[in-house]
Amino acid sequence: DIQMTQSPASLSASLGETVTIECLASEDIYDILAWYQQKPGKSPQLLIYDASSLHTGVPSRFSGSGSGTQYSLKINSLQPEDFASYYCQNGLSAPHTFGAGTKLELK
Amino acid sequence: QVTLKESGPGILQPSQTLSLTCTFSGFSLSTYGMGVGWIRQPSGKGLEWLANIWWDDDKYYNPSLKNRLTISKDTSNNQAFLKITNVDTADTATYYCARTGTHTMGIAFDYWGQGVMVTVSS
């Protein structure tokens, strides 16, 4: 089974800052990786699929990159609505494991 | 407009079988490339993928739950189902169903239900 190691577990940042969240797969997942945002009490929302494709309606300050086993989610110019939890997911093969999550908090 | 909604028993006792229903609209599970997955989240914790069913009735399960999971679908009524046998307090969580489709080369859940809370307690 493919393991997904996400870092950091938590992150404190200010409005307008740029942050990066990393996700490491235990083997090559050929760019089949998704990123989700989840706010308290709400369902997760898809941000990025296939490592770098922006889902419909997602602001362009979100971007995904990476290849092989290493992937990242970058958020430029943090807005108040961006403070939430973020998860990566192996989309290549079952079990489609999620990373443990990153909680982004306002400094 | 794609929507999904989960329904379930709310509370059940240890060793019982949990039956969940996902009722969806705006797409068909008989359309090539469409799939529905089940994901759960204990309160305050992360997401756990449980199972997926595809348009061609292909099914995949999380092996960590061994043989306790069964996923199925009723294409004509736009529903997907998940059964978990022999539940334990560790199965207490919010359960989500979500759609994946042809927008991705693999799995990426682009629409999610609101989730249903399930509590296992004696």
What's the pLDDT at B43?
97
What's the pLDDT at B101?
86
Smallest CA–CA distance from A89 into chain B, residue: B108
Sheet harboring B79-84: ordered strands across?
A: B3-7, B18-25, B79-84, B69-74
What's the pLDDT at B92?
98
Amino acid present at A79: Q
A residues 31-90 lying closer than 8 A (beta carbon) to B: 32, 34, 36, 38, 43-46, 49-50, 53, 55, 87, 89
Please state, in angstroms and rounded to a whole number, the distance separating the CA atoms of residues B8 and B87. Answer: 14
Structure tokens at A90: 């192996």
Share of chain B above pLDDT 90, in %: 94
3-state helix/strand/coil string of chain B: CCEEEEECCCEECCCCCEEEEEEEECCCCCCCCCEEEEEEECCCCCCEEEEEEECCCCEEECHHHCCCEEEEEEHHHCEEEEEECCCCHHHCEEEEEEEECCCCCCCCCCEECCCEEEEECC
Query: CB-based contact (8 Å) between A107 and chain B?
Result: no
Phi, psi of A103 (to 5 degrees): -95, 115
Among A102, A71, A72, A73, which Cα is nearest to A86's? A102
pLDDT, tens digit, for every residue of B59-112?
999 999 979 999 999 999 999 999 999 999 999 999 999 999 888 888 999 999
What's the pLDDT at B102?
80
Q: Residue B31, exposed/middle/buried by CB under 10 A (0-12, 13-18, 19+)? A: exposed
Contact by Cβ (8 Å): B24, B78: yes
Q: Do B105 and A45 touch (CB under 8 A)?
A: no
- Which chain A positions have a beta carbon within 8 Å of B52's beta carbon? 94, 96
Q: Tokens 């989610």 correspond to what residue?
A: A73
- Which chain A positions have a beta carbon within 8 Å of B37's beta carbon? 96
Please state, in angstroms and rounded to a whole number, the distance separating the CA atoms of residues A22 and A43. Answer: 22
Q: Which comes out higher in pLDDT, residue B40 or B66?
A: B40
Contact by Cβ (8 Å): A107, A50: no
Distances (CA, A) of A48 to A58, A60, A91, B99: 8, 11, 11, 15
Local confidence band at A58 (pLDDT 50, 70, 90 cut-offs) = very high
Beta carbons within 10 angstroms of residue A86's beta carbon? 24
pLDDT, tens digit, for every residue of A30-56?
999 999 999 999 999 999 999 999 999
Helix (H) or strand (E) holding A90: strand A85-90
